[in-house]
Chains A and B, each alone.
Chain A
Amino acid sequence: MGDPLFAHGIDPWVFLIVAVKVIVAFVVLLVSVLLMIWFERKVISDMQSRIGPNRAGPWGILQTLADGVKLFFKEGLRPDGSDRRVFYLAPYLAVVPAFLIFTIIPIGGVVTIFGHTTELQVADPQIGILFLLAMSSVAVYALMLAGWASGSKYPLLGSVRATAQMVSYEAAMGLSTAAAVLITGSLSTRDIVESQNGSLYGFLPNWNVLRLGVVPFAIFFIAVTAEVNRPPFDLVEGEQELVGGFHTEYSSVRFALFFLAEFMNTITMSAIVVTLFFGGPDGPAPHVVRWLWPILWFAGKTIVFLYVYVWIRASLPRLRYDQLMDLGWKRLIPLSLFWLLVVAGMLIDSRWGFAVFGGGLVFGLMLYQALRVTRAGVEGPDATPAVGPGGDFGPGGGATF
């Protein structure tokens, strides 16, 4: 339990190792944000038959650096009607949780440096994955306070949306995380990762995505996409309606921090998905440079998910607000709750599992039928819909009014 680094008390070397780990993690995350923005722009331009950034550095890889430098030298404005302290605080509230979540992710195996054995992750707290949920809840404050402190209506609308959306999807996210926690029997991310070592039926990897069925992973992935406000759930910054959403009034460094936090969150959440459902650094490791392979596996898996995020952004249109709430409350939460019960049943006994599965199915069908009957009763047995499919007015469609 816990990091073996602290097993023999804390001496200066331990302190140094922790400091180095923090610094390295911070730098790695910052650099990967730079690369991620470039990667996203390149991939999305690939998917739109464009070339994308190609002037700064080889393949335009320094484009983000150039943009960042430009952004830092811009004038930082603060609207007159804004709340000064909260306005200045909000960007940091966005960045800090984004970084803190990354600290609990196991990015490699266990290594020995200077005679100290340590895990390749900044921190391995016992509360583990609860820390993720806590921090992603804190990140809501950044968006909410940014919108509120701006003293302007569009940011406020954006932050109201952000808060509602993130609170809604946090439930589904927590429930699908609970499935992974349940099968591991521990909250620690290191334990979650280590329980996924080995193989399933001899040839499949023993990853949670397979052990739990694909449902918790799918729900978690969708909820996380909503949680980090990425398309198609980017209603928070819906440019067509809200100018820029919560960060409309931000400029210069503070805007850069929001931007940084957004991409940090994307990377971190991809890493969390990999940790919870895809075995983290698990993967076949040849006997040369043993410590490196888990890191490569982890990075590779994360990049796959980053690619999928970009792919989703390129493909799916933004959801309408009621569709977003519908998906969150009426579909993802019941489904994840149902699946959590099934997983719990299966862990006791497979008969229990199938019983819960069958019972849930029957209950779900009954609920569906009940809703259908009720809806038909409200609208009348032979009511023609006023607006037909596709939104066109059918003949006599308006007669029901």
Chain B
Amino acid sequence: MDFDFSEDQDQLRDAVRKWVEKAYTFERRRAVAADGGFSADAYRELAELGLTGLYIPEELGGLGMGPVEGMIVLEELGRGIVLEPLAQALIAGAVMSNHAPKALASTWAPLIASGEKMAVLAYQERASRYRLDSCNTTASRQGDHWSLTGNKSLVVAGDNADAWMVSASADGEIGLFWVEKQASGASTRGYGTIDGACAAELTLKGTPAQLISEDGMAALEHAVDVGIAATCAEAVGVMEKTLAITVDYMNARKQFGVVIGSFQALKHRVADMKMQLELARSMSYYASLKLGAPPAERRAAMARAKFQLGQSMRYIGQQAIQLHGGIGVTDEYIVSHYFKRLTQMEMVFGDSLHQLSEVSSRMQSSAGVFA
């Protein structure tokens, strides 16, 4: 039982932190958000750091690293509320390493690792809300060839992707499929999201696809769990920076002749924010450390973690605005952007109430981390 980071892990954290501080300033981010919410240049810089290949084995051009490294990287990117969705590269890496057939992996994994190509998960549908097992997109088979028809929603950076990992239903069973951007019948409609990033609606009409995994639910659940752990980690970074910004403000802003940080009611608010941050950090560690567990245990752990993170994100985000007073709700000042990212992350991979329902329905008679 050990929660220390190795020297290599500390160096990885340092490298990402430096890039965020020097190369991904708030001004750059604002410019990217104003220009569609995704920068190919920034994505390339992440690739140059090796990060797009974090979960891809070395023999396929990646770094062959694991959940703890992923957690560290996402925390650091969260501190800068980086718009480019590295979590999707982690998902793609996990899918390539664990579920994709060799032919598909040997072609695409190196391209994802190098950052030359980007693949994202396309599983949500308007009628399904957060459910993974409900799918109106259909997959039909002619011999060895598959084709997909349907509509996927809220695909992160979907119109910037070179390929999508799509869940579709074949004879009532859910499969996970690989669809390339130029495939016939595929079209996207991109739009901005409240956090400044972008997503897309994906339409498929008899679109040719490759099968990733017949056991689509296993692959999809794993992919989503990688996404949940990444989201939890990123949220810790976002919240840490949000609290730091707030603390700086409270130690600087003067009213009634004193800094507002001297008022006890506000001190207690800060203490409660710190509580939420540490609970969130603890559950983010839990999520990452459970990513390698057997599926049922892993699923249950992700639901618990995402619920806690949801509570913490909402509290810290809301209170950060509150403690800033009027400037907290302006666009010009930085804290509202952190709040919007926290708000967005609640609704990604299942919100708190959805996760509570998952936890509740899976509840065992025992309790605790080792339950």
A and B are interacting partners: no
Write the residues of chain B forming the contact surface with A, with a CB cutoff of 8 angstroms: none
Write the residues of chain A forming the contact surface with B, with a CB cutoff of 8 angstroms: none
